[in-house]
Structure 1
Amino acid sequence: MSAADGPVVFDPADFGPIPRSAELRRWMRKVRRGKADRTFWQQFEDIYLVIFALAMLGASGGNVVRHLNENSASCANTSCSLVVDYVPFILLPLLVAGMLRILLSVGPVSASRATGFWLLATPVDRGAVLRPAYRLVITVAAVLGALFAVVGFAVFGASLWAVIEATMVATALLVCVACATVWAQQSPTAVKWTLRIADGFLVLAAIAALALAIEARENAAWQESSAETLIATVYGTGTSSGLSLQQQRVLVLGAACLVVAAAAVVMTARSLARLPKQSLVAGGDLLAGMAGAAITMDVSLLADIVAGRHWRTVGRLKSRRGRGERVQAIIHREFRRVLRWPRRLIVGAGLLVVPYAVAGTGYDVLVPIAAGFAGFVAARPLMDGLRSVCRSTGLVRALGMDLKDLRIAMSVVPAGFVILWTLAAGPALGDAPTTFAVAAGILTGVVRQASARPPSYAGPLVASPMGAIPPGLFSQPIRGFDLLLLCLLPVLFGLPPLWCYVIPGIVLAFMFSLRPKTDAPAPPAAPRG
């Protein structure tokens, strides 16, 4: 066999030296600046508006957090001290689980299709090309960890040094979580096991929230336990008197967190060259689609993009024969479709931590609102089938049923999940009328959002600092949440229990008796005789 029949080997002598990643980025930056048509003052005006908006939001939010911290610190009830004790066992597992799932759904390191075609398929150092995206992921993880820790601990009355300690621990923890997701991105098997670990953290947070709710209901303080000793040692409490000892502990803990996080970041950066190109490009396509969904303010489209990414990675599944006819067959297929992605059910069950955690804080008036929004997030992923039908004229014709009947049939399985979810959250909600109102609000909200029409670009444009915006985009994000709040109104205003049944019942009746507004025509009536 001649040498020409062997594999092709790259020889730098034939094509010249391989360019470095810094040289490529410098060249791309030069090309982009050469084609820019915006002046410096136009760019400065946009940057100024963004910075000013962030400053105003930070100032107002910081003022609210400060007042809540002062009010919670002055609280002498047993429930207030219990909340500070339980916050680490609820907040930190939720942060870890959420960060693992969000980063793994995106990549976490991603690259555009152009980068994957022109750069990642060449002998250029892949690790150097992906390093800016990796730095962005680590920075976002650190900022989110610090922000959630400051808000989560300060709102419930923790002292200044306890907030500082919690911020350092949470920041280092989420940075290490981001590094772990980058390692997991190198193998599909590692991704599956990492998602299972995320589900385990959700279970831990749910157990801690349930324990907090039980403790608060019984009005019993958690005294002389190992958990309290651990919290006082690592995080500190608002009543700690050894300020100098806390300062020393903050310095030691900060140094340890910095060393651990830096070591994890450096070690993970060396493994960027082993990331597969398919995963990088898929993450870039997902981010591009999510940017389009954010521009149109279509929350349902955003959920569909994430679900599409999941099913593309799965590839194919074993098909199963359906059962029954028409409505019965559709209900059976929806049930099978939900079971094909059981992790969504696990996440929905993990969101039960929200009403129990709020109930444990003693703010009973906020429990129905927290339960409603948590149940909405848990039930919305189960409505993918209804959304596909409502936005596909051909699919409605192929099924041969009226869209109103299809909406009722495809809402049976999510309705069963909503009923089970609200019954599980019933002890935190308190009574049957509140539970019914929350269940009706969740069901009508997710059905309305899933069966809503695409964004409308008709009508005159509305001037805004971001430019001209179609008025139909403003109503897109609140679809579904409006019915949720409408069902919760009798609970929030403290109306008699009868109204907690009447108003949500009327909303349910109108939701399933009206035909969805869509461009899909009604199928022709069947011939008689």
Structure 2
Amino acid sequence: MTAPPHAADEPAADDPVVGDFDLGEVPTAREIRRFTARAARGRSGARAGALLQDLYEAVVAVGIAALITGGTVRQLRDALPPAPDVQAPGGLSLPVLVGVLLVAAVGALLSLAGRLGPVGLGGPEASWWLDLPVGRRGLLRPTARRLPLLAAGVGALVVLVLEAGMLERAGAPLARAALAGAVVAAGVVLAAGLAQTLGAPRRAAALTGDLLVLAAPVAAVLLVVTGVAPADLPTPGAGVVLAGALLVAACAVVVDRRLDDVPARTLREAGSVTSQALGAVVSLDSRELGRALGAGVAPRARPWVSRLRTVRGPASALVTADLVLLRRSSRHVVQIVVALLLPVLATVVPQLASPAGVLLAVVVGGWVAASGAGEGARWAQIAPVLDALLPLDARDVRRLRMVVPAAVMLVWSLVVLGAVGRWAGAPLDWLVLAVASTPVWAAAAVRAAYRPSPDWSGPLIATPFGALPPGVMAVLVRGPDLVALCLLPLWVAVALQAAPPVLASVQLVLSVVAVVVGSSTHERPWYERMLDDPDKAAPR
């Protein structure tokens, strides 16, 4: 009996299936990183001239940053009035305010580190490196070092500006303060990395940072109310800075030894958030940056379900959706509370309780609070699912998106301008101005949320900040332009330290104009539309 024709072609059981190839030894993690870097450089087409150009641009950027920092320090020094000999009762000294700002900065850094990872790998690296039969410690080591070193540099710069500009310190105390800032910033990021290696969710670190940001101004308000605020803060000594540096170094060693224990899922999620955030920064899209930082630590499940009893129709459904989204975003709630307390604290610090200082605090605090309250409009701009399902006109949708920011900014305006009225006198007139100016904040928040993205498809323009598309500034100022123009009576009142009824009347008219402009669905300015088609662009 003969065998089947194909039996002779089948390999024997002991024959090698792949072939007799010399596979060699498995490369180390460092060799894999170097091979990846060489492959990237080889395919990029860059030459030595490009490297020298990048080095030149980096040196110029560092020099410009140093000059800007020095100018900012000198301006702060010249703008602040001298400290009084005796602190007024119920006030807050400038050193204590600087300490509050530093604590809030530590909380913001911890929140940012928790949202970014801080250890993570991008899409291509995570897809290739994590499946290789090598230890992850060598692959993740450069990524784990990058963010702490960057945080140390930024922390030293921030402390240098605050200490030299606001407290007028110099010499050895200033150097120790800058080193302490670098040590604390690096330690905060390493603490978030250690929590990540221990398996703690990134949301826990982000929430802890948000609570620390909230605790800083609340503690300052309690110090003002109780009247136990100190007049000065001690400067860290050399021994304290050295001990902190040794502790941070030990934490870095522990994090480095535990890099193999970071789950692959966490690395992919952190790398995805970091890539999205970097893309938003490069493309000058602050809305995408906020979505990246917010969605990266969103909870996966809810222990309870809201009944949404306030929904009675399309309009109430839209307003309820915005309110629920704001309530579930702890970062924006903290942002609104901090923005509420910032101008109040500026009115009780002797060196800041001037028209310029209070005006700056009101502008910054108001815009930060309005941006936090307009979270629903920002999400609707990228995913207008609810807007498309409801039987509402596009302009009506934008007006309804102003309801939640208007409610938030009404409370903000009453509290803040009430404190400004206590500082300037005649609080009742300031409360009337607060009510009249509230719609402008809401309209500005919605206008900024629905602004078009910069057009990167056309030719770019060379600027000192890099290549930018034409008209990028006109896009970025959509929203802040209403704050600058339609709140002019409020700025005049703060500058004059008086709020007469005529300013409230003018403010009411400008608020109506702001609502009309904020509810417009045109993405291009009216003068550009008039140049294209004067008949369609003419106002009716």
Q: Same fold (TM over 0.5)?
A: yes
CA contact (8 A) 1:297 1:476 kept: no
Distance 1:42 1:265 in 2: 34
Query: In the superposition, relative to structure 1, how do residues 319 and 469 fare at CA in structure 2: closer, same or farther (>3 Å)?
Result: same
Which range moves more in the overlay, 397-406 or 320-329?
320-329
Question: SS at the partner of 2:279?
Answer: helix
Are 1:314 and 2:339 matched, yes or no?
no
1:412 aligns with 2:403: yes
Cα offset for 1:277? 1.7
CA RMSD of aligned residues (A): 3.3
In the TM superposition, what whole-angstrom CA distance separates every residue of 1:134-170 from its partner, at most 9, and x where no partner exists?
Answer: 1111111111211111111222234324433332332
- Secondary structure in 1 aligned to 2:44? coil
Contact 2:120 2:267 in 1 (8 A): yes
The answer on 1:45 being equivalent to 2:33 is no
Residue 506 of structure 1 corresponds to: 509
Question: Are positions 1:21 and 2:29 aligned together?
Answer: yes
Aligned residue in 2 for 1:451: 450
Residue 473 (structure 1) aligns with:
472
- 2:354: which partner in 1? 364
User: CA offset at residue 309 of structure 1?
Assistant: 2.6
Matches within 5 A, 1:27-426: 27-69=35-77, 72=80, 74-78=82-86, 83-87=93-97, 89-160=99-170, 161-186=172-197, 189-210=200-221, 227=230, 231-232=233-234, 234-235=235-236, 250-311=237-298, 314=300, 320-322=306-308, 323-359=311-347, 360=349, 361-365=351-355, 366-390=357-381, 396-426=387-417
For 1:504 and 1:425, the matched residues in 2 are separated by 17
Please give the per-residue CA displacement for 1:377-425, whole angstroms capped at 9, x wherever unaligned.
2332443332344455765442121011112222212221222223333
- The number of residues matched between the two structures is 482
Q: Aligned in 2, Cα 1:123/1:433: closer, same or farther, shift over 3 Å?
A: farther
Q: Secondary structure at the match of 2:476?
A: coil
Given that residues 155 and 182 in structure 2 are in contact (C-alpha distance below 8 angstroms), is that contact kept between their aligned partners in structure 1?
A: yes
**Distance in structure 2 (CA, Å) of the matches to 1:258 and 1:318:** 44
Q: Which amino acid aligns with 2:314?
A: R
Residue 373 of structure 1: CA displacement?
A: 2.2
Distance of 2:329 and 2:92 partners within structure 1 = 36
Distance 1:466 1:286 in 2: 24
Shift of 1:52: 1.6
Give the residue type in structure 2 aligned to 1:268: V
Q: TM-score, normalised by structure 1?
A: 0.80
Over residues 176-218 of structure 1, what are the superposed CA-to-partner deviations in whole Å (9 max), with x where a residue is unaligned? 2111111222467554443443244224311343257669xxx
Report the AA paired with residue 62 of structure 2. Answer: L
Q: Show CA shifts across 1:325-376 (max 9, x none).
A: 1112222232223222344213321333422343324343222332332232
Identity of aligned residues (%): 24
Alignment-derived partner of residue 8 in structure 2:
none
Distance 1:202 1:332, change over 3 A: same
- Deviation of residue 93 (structure 1)? 1.4
User: Gaps spanning 5+ residues in structure 1: where?
Assistant: 1-12, 236-249, 520-529
After superposition, the C-alpha distances for 1:492-527 in whole angstroms (9 at most, x for unaligned) are 3446634543454334323433543258xxxxxxxx
Deviation at residue 461 of structure 1 after TM alignment: 5.3
Q: Which moved more, 1:277-286 or 1:190-199?
A: 190-199
Change in 2 beyond 3 A, CA 1:188/1:274: closer
User: 1:34 and 1:375 mapped to 2: Cα distance?
Assistant: 50
- The higher radius of gyration belongs to 2
Residue ranges of structure 2 left out of the alignment (5+ in a row): 1-20, 422-429, 524-540
